[in-house]
Amino acid sequence: MNNIHKFLSVFAVVVLLALVLAPPAQAFDGRSGDKIVIAADEVVDDDLYVTAEEFTLDGTVNGDLIALGRIITVNGTVEAM
């Protein structure tokens, strides 16, 4: 019984340290629809997830870009972090 208590105590400490030292979750920008356009003067300062029939990127994405669609046009800039 004593070994079980020691194991559980060590396990609890490890879990608490992992939770405290874990990096915060990163935010993202998600967009969906029939036609999504990121205009030339628009800057997205997060990861961008897009699902659309037609997607056009003329602006800038400061993060990763994941796009699913039938027609995808990238004229702008993607600066993955």
Whose tokens are 């030339």? That residue is: 40
User: The whole model's pTM is what?
Assistant: 0.65
pLDDT, one tens digit per residue, over 12-69 is 888 877 777 777 666 788 899 999 999 999 999 989 999 999 999 999 999 999 999 9
How far, in Å, CA of 9 to CA of 50, rounded? 45
Which helix or strand (DSSP H or E) is residue 8 part of? Answer: helix 2-21
Q: How many CB atoms sit inside 10 A of residue 12's CB?
A: 10
